[in-house]
Amino acid sequence: MPTKLSVSLSPHVRGELSTQGIMLRVFIALLPAALMGVYAFGGQALWTLILSTASAVLAEALAQKLLKRPVTAFHDGSAAVTGLLLGLCLPPAVPWYLAVVGSAFAVVIAKQVFGGLGSNFVNPALAGRAFLLACWPAAMTTFIGIDGQTGATPLAYLQSPTDLAAAFGENWRLDAFLGRVPGTIGEVSTLALLLGAAFLLISRIIDWRIPLSYLASLGVLSVIAGVELSASLLLGGVVLSAFFMATDYVTSPASSWGKIVFGLGCGVVNFVIRQWGAYPEGVTYAILLMNVCSPLIERATRPKKYGEVKARA
């Protein structure tokens, strides 16, 4: 019988997890938070999320077509994750075109212009959010409460638990944990975010080092500055960002110590912006700034290779 042989490069077997599989898991991990956002803010939030996700995918496909690159937008899943992430860090009542413009900016300007997946130097979703924050500052910082009333972010009351209690009721801590205190669509329910984060940690998609060092440094500095720990971590977008944005592979260090340095840096910059900056929340700029430092951190935290020892005898 004539046989037909095919050849392959070693290793001749490969692992199961693909880039697509990673993106799919991140997307799934974001769904609890998305659901809680929709539950808290209703149809408008759902519409914003669908719009931001769809625009990211379509804008990436269009950009790839124009740049004569292989169109991967529909199957690699990275644009969908970026779009969903951007939607989750928008206030629920933003005009629809912000979701579209933000997503397009994220995938086209922050990602495709620099070479596409893997070549961007800042987190695309955060770059999109920063762009929106600069262009539409009012719309980006107006939040609706669960009661439908518009108001400022609870972070404005960060310095005083009594003010927080006055604004959101005595049970604001539990409410913030469950998702009954205003915020962006994705950041309302810390519980839902932790659920998704636990899934990513257990399935080893993300590593604990960045989120833990981020939350720890922000928490410790906040407590030193006299801010209640639960207020500093439960309010605002810290949990969403620490687990889902700061852990972005492309824009954070791959080395173990690098991850810790990176996380600590995020926490420190975030604290500084919250404490003394013009914005009530510093998540976006903290991570963007650390993204830029990531290659330097990685170079400084290169692990020692096997064999860097002296010969015996």
Partner 1 sequence: MPLKTFSGGIHPLEKTHHGKGLSEHLAITKPEAPRRVKLPMAQHIGAPCRPLVVAGDRVLRGQLIGETGGFVSAPVHASVSGAVLSVQPERAIGGQTPLTVTIENDFKDETVEFIPADPAALSREELLKRVAAAGLAGMGGAAFPLHVKLSPPEGTKIDYLLLNGAECEPYLTADHRMMLERGEMILKGAAILKRILDADAAIIGIEANKQDAIANLERLAQGSGIKIQPLRVKYPQGSEKQIIQSLTGRQVPSGKLPAAAGCVVVNVSTAHAVYEAVALGKPLIDRVLTVTGEGIETPANLEVPIGTEISHLIACCGGLKDGSARLVSGGPMMGIAVFEEDLPIVKGSSGILALLHGSQDAHGEGPCIHCGRCSRGCPIHLQPYELYSDMLKKDWAAAEKHGALDCVECGACSYICPARREVTSAIRVAKRQAQALKRK
Contact footprint for partner 1 (CB under 8 A): 1-15, 17-19, 21-22, 72, 75-76, 78, 116-119, 249-250, 254-255, 302-313
* Closer residue to partner 1 in complex, CB, 222/294: 294
Name the residue with tokens 């914003």: 48
Q: How far is the CB of 11 from partner 1 (least distance, A)?
A: 3
CA distance 117 to 60: 10
Distances (CA, A) of 161 to 190, 208, 230, 278: 18, 29, 10, 21
CA distance 218 to 266: 8
CA distance 111 to 151: 33
Q: By the 8 A CB rule, do 177 and 169 touch?
A: no
Q: How far is the CB of 288 from partner 1 (least distance, A)?
A: 17
* Closer residue to partner 1 in complex, CB, 8/162: 8
* Closer residue to partner 1 in complex, CB, 37/211: 211
Q: How far is the CB of 310 from partner 1 (least distance, A)?
A: 6
User: CA Rg, the chain, in Å?
Assistant: 21
Nearest to 251 by CA among 82, 24, 20: 82
Q: How far is the CB of 243 from partner 1 (least distance, A)?
A: 16
Q: How far is the CB of 117 from partner 1 (least distance, A)?
A: 5
CA distance 291 to 57: 23
* Closer residue to partner 1 in complex, CB, 65/302: 302
* Closer residue to partner 1 in complex, CB, 38/205: 205
